[in-house]
Amino acid sequence: MLNFVDSVVNLPLLATCILSAVYPAASYLSFTFSKIFTYAIFFLVSFAVGLLIYVHVTDNFSFCNVYYNSYITKPLIYKICGVWGNYEGSILLWLWMLSAHALLLELLLKPEDLKRVAISIQHLLYCGFSLFVMITSNPFTRMITTELDGLGFNPMLQDIGLAVHPPILFFGYVGFSTVFSITLSSIMVQKKPQEWVRIVNPWVLISWSFLTCGIALGSWWAYRELGWGGFWFWDPVENSSLMPWLLGIALIHIISLVKKFNICCSFAFLLSILTFGVSLIGTFLIRSGILVSVHTFANDPERGIYILILIGIIVSASIIILMVFFKKPEESCCFSYVSKITAIMINNILFFTAFVVVFVGTIYPVILELLTGEVISVGSQYYNMIFSGLVIVLLLLMVFVLELSWQGNDSVKINLKYFLIIFMILLLIFFKGVVVSILLLSVLLIISSLKDYSIKIKLFKVSLDESVKLAISLNGRYYAMLISHMGFSILILGAICSTVFQETKEQYMRENSRVGIHGFEIILSKLSLIKQANYEAVRGLFLIKDNDKLIGKLLPENRFYMVERTRNTESSVYHNFLSDIYIIVGDIDVHKGIAVKIYYKPYINLIWIGVCMIVLGGTIIGVVTFKKKASNITVST
């Protein structure tokens, strides 16, 4: 329901909606004057976000958003970041991100003809979603209440992860709106595909890097918070963030072919549109309650219908623009089947297949329930089985591509080497299984990457000074590829080792009782009752010993949140370099003691190291591309 009369607090959102709607016409009348609209929209929606934070911090329970999602004794940090820990607030944050990216386009995008159309598209997107916010998800809806306190806040969200995970993830999601806007504007102003790649490439890389970081932070949060030592659950929300990530990787690789050889142009343009469309699904469908998840904020059919209509209009209009305005260039490129071009095409088939697998697994239960009323969930076995095969092929491809030239290398020596490696992998799969094969391929990729780098800098073949000079002369794109590919293999190693080789102990313990796990001795030294402003807890003090030497202390808690009347466990983790010891405590039995679950997670920190390397690689190439583009503009002017 519209609720604009209650307070002037709704005026900033209404004003931004009007400004974004008239921007396209204003930009054609006076592009210089229309720039003010972009700044005005950003500052007005920033004011709205700041206002929502203010009413949360000051405990103004006359606002529904505050009353239903906060309380007086809620810690300040969660009053601030809790603004986006609810449905309406998270959508407002998404809207702010959309305006921020329009401002980035205003500041960074060249040339002017492309900028005008791209920002117009960006503002039309903003207009549609601001209408959605005001009609169905107004965060400033007022209520009449005499209550002096709110209803509370989900205890699982009262974690530092809430401060960093949603904003970074949303920045990645919304970042693909700039890719979408640049792509459509390039089609409409008839930019050549290779020129489009030069412009859009850094936006793709930076957006994908933020999305990668956001997904990883969500996994880290789940690992610490959910209490079973896992980092990925194949939950619908996780899948919704994974889908644009997979398409983003495919887009990053395919635009390299457009840039170098002017091939696969139609697919690259289509992939840019599809990636943003899937990002919309990830952002909005969960928050409408259409997909059921532990992350779901609401269940409102009106919101779901509006979202589906809006996404349908955006995607349909984009496809129509692509079909009407896009003129396919002549593509003539000769290349061998054994070439880097072929490898990238296979790579894209793999990632697109992975996307389809995740999409079907996420959407199928919803469609089945709508058609038959039957409620099912797609388990991890479905994903693990298919992804295991895809990862094996992908790792093989990443090993081979290091020795391939762009248009082909038909060397008998190389072909024989490939045949032997594939034959050995097939034998390993047959005799040792998929897990061992993936582990060995991951190690092989790291070794092959280091070998390729040593060859390029002529390590041990020339003097150290010469090797350093050669290392400096290598371009940023090569380093980004090297770091990202090695990071991917390290991530795979960590994911498999921490899952397959983990050890678990689950038992009741009393004070001074001991339990052993992976050669470590865990001692429950003390149980204590603690009381904080927003919860009470039973806290266990656990001592970790290695060969009778104290190496760490852990303090897991079983909390009871008074306002929410909810229990929640808080794990405690000891980081032993690459591996973790992870402890949670449960309920107390007067006869047995306190329930304790202990995990030993071998090499799990390789996951976070691998992610950091992947993000670093994407950021390096994004920044290098931005700088190169800026220098080209400076030279041309």
Domain presence at residue 547: yes
R_g of the chain computed on alpha carbons: 27
**57-67 tens-digit pLDDT:** 999 998 999 99
- Please give the backbone phi and psi of residue 459, each rounded to the nearest 5 degrees, phi first: -65, 135
* Tokens encoding 520: 């470590």
Average pLDDT over residues 13-22: 92
Q: Are residues 397 and 449 in the same domain?
A: yes
pLDDT of residue 629: 63
Cβ neighbors of 520 (< 8 A, separation 6 or more) are 544, 545, 546, 551, 581, 600
On whether the CB atoms of residues 585 and 599 are closer than 8 A, the answer is no
Q: Would the pLDDT of 300 be above 80?
A: no
Residues 453 and 494 in one domain: yes
CA angle, corner 587, sides to 585 and 592, nearest 5? 100
Beta strands in 456-578 (DSSP E): 503-509, 514-517, 520-531, 535-546, 549-554, 557-561, 566-570, 572-576
- What tens digit of pLDDT does each residue of 183-221 get? 999 999 999 999 999 999 999 999 999 999 999 999 999
Name the domain boundary from 340, 357, 378: 378
d(CA 122, CA 102) in angstroms, rounded, equals 6
Residue 592 φ/ψ, nearest 5 degrees: -105, -25
One domain for residues 458 and 534: no
Same domain, 372 and 397: no
Amino acid sitting at position 570: E
pLDDT for res 290: 64
Q: Which of 580, 376, 598 is nearest to 498 (CA)?
A: 580
Contact predicate 383/357, CB 8 Å:
yes
Concatenating the DSSP letter of every residue in 462-489 gives S-HHHHHHHHHHS-HHHHHHHHHHHHHH
Q: What is the pLDDT averaged over residues 291-317? A: 73
Residue 175 near residue 206 (C-beta atoms within 8 A): yes
% pLDDT > 70, the chain: 90
Axis crossing angle, helix 301-325 with helix 112-136, rounded to the nearest 10: 160
Q: What is the pLDDT of residue 4?
A: 44
Give the DSSP letter of residue 264.
Answer: S
What is the domain range of residue 508?
Answer: 503-606
Evaluate whether 315 touches 277 at the Cβ level (below 8 Å): yes
Q: Comparing C-alpha atoms, which of 271, 292, 63, 306 is closest to residue 183?
A: 271
Beta-carbon contacts of 565 under 8 Å, excluding residues fewer than 6 positions away, are none
Q: Is the pLDDT of residue 610 over 90?
A: yes
Number of domains within the chain: 4
- Distance from first CA to last CA of the chain, Å, rounded? 52
Segment 493-542, tens digit of pLDDT = 999 999 999 999 999 999 999 999 999 999 999 999 999 988 999 999 99
- For 228-259, the pLDDT digits (tens) are 778 888 888 889 999 999 999 999 999 999 99
Q: Which amino acid, residue 86?
A: N
Cis, peptide link before residue 111, omega less than 30° from 0: yes
Looking at the predicted structure, is the pLDDT value of residue 636 above 50? no
CA atoms within 13 A on the CB side of 49: 23
> What is the tens place of the pLDDT at every residue in 526-583?
999 999 988 999 999 999 999 999 999 999 999 999 988 899 999 999 998 899 999 9
Same domain, 354 and 432: no
What is the CA angle 274-100-159, rounded to 5?
Answer: 90
| Residue 5: per-residue pLDDT | 40
Whether residue 616 lies inside any domain: the answer is: no
Domain stop point among 442, 474, 501: 501
83 and 12 in a common domain: yes
* Closest by Cα among 634, 398, 600 to 499: 600
**pLDDT over 90 for what percent of the chain?**
61
The answer as to whether 618 is a domain residue is: no
Check pLDDT > 90 for residue 466. Answer: yes
With vertex at residue 495, the alpha carbon angle to CA 552 and CA 360, rounded to the nearest 5 degrees, is 140
Does residue 215 share a domain with residue 117? no
- Predicted pLDDT of residue 30: 81
Reported as a pLDDT band with limits 50, 70 and 90, residue 600 is very high
Cα–Cα distance measured from residue 140 to residue 238, given in angstroms and rounded to the nearest whole number = 29
Question: Could you tell me if 421 and 396 are in contact, meaning their C-beta atoms sit under 8 angstroms apart?
Answer: yes
Q: Residue 471: what residue type?
A: A
Q: Is 486's pLDDT higher than 90?
A: yes
Tokens representing 34 are 């229309």
Residue with token string 């986006």 = 84
- Give the pLDDT of residue 262: 86
Q: pLDDT of 313-346, one tens digit each?
A: 999 999 999 999 888 777 667 777 778 888 899 9
Mean pLDDT of 608-629: 87
Give yes or no for a contact between 139 and 6, defined as CB atoms under 8 angstroms apart. Answer: no
Helix (H), strand (E) at residue 447: helix 434-456
398 and 462 share one domain: yes
- In this prediction, residue 33 carries a pLDDT of 76
DSSP assignment of 207-228: HHHHHHHHHHHHHHHHHHHSSS
Same domain, 594 and 543: yes
Of the three residues 452, 482, 501, the one that is the final residue of a domain is 501
Check pLDDT > 50 for residue 427: yes
In a domain, 620, yes or no: no
- Worst-scoring range by mean pLDDT, 46-55, 294-303, 339-348, 483-492? 294-303
Asked if the structure places residue 558 within a domain, the reply is yes
Is residue 137 scored above 60 in pLDDT? yes
Tokens of 288: 């409408």
The residues with which 514 forms a beta bridge, in sequence order, are: 523
Residue 33: CA count within 13 A, CB half-sphere? 10
| CA dihedral of residues 466, 470, 472, 475 (deg, nearest 10) | 170
Which residues, in sequence order, are bridge partners of residue 570? 557
Residue 112 banded pLDDT, cuts 50, 70, 90: confident
Residue 359 is assigned to a structural domain of this protein? yes
pLDDT reading at 275 higher than 90: yes
Assign 573 to helix, strand or coil: strand
Residue 612 lies in a domain: no
Average pLDDT, the chain: 88
pTM: predicted TM-score of the whole model, two decimal places? 0.93
CA atoms within 13 A on the CB side of 292: 9
Residue 306 · residue 136 · CB < 8 Å: yes
Asked if residue 174 belongs to a domain, the reply is yes
The predicted pLDDT at position 135 comes to: 85
Check pLDDT > 50 for residue 635. Answer: no
CB 200 within 8 A of CB 230: no
Do 406 and 306 share a structural domain?
Answer: no
CA trace torsion 174, 175, 177, 180 (10° rounding): -150
CA 431 vs. chain centroid, Å, equals 36
Domain match, 482 and 512 both: no
Do 298 and 404 lie in one domain? The reply is no
Residue found under tokens 């697109």: 352
User: Position of tokens 């929209």?
Assistant: 41
Output the CA torsion 337→342→347→350 (10° steps). -50
Q: Tens digits of per-residue pLDDT, 385-417?
A: 999 999 999 998 998 888 888 766 555 455 556
- Given a contact cutoff of 8 angstroms between Cβ atoms, the answer to whether 305 and 286 are in contact is no
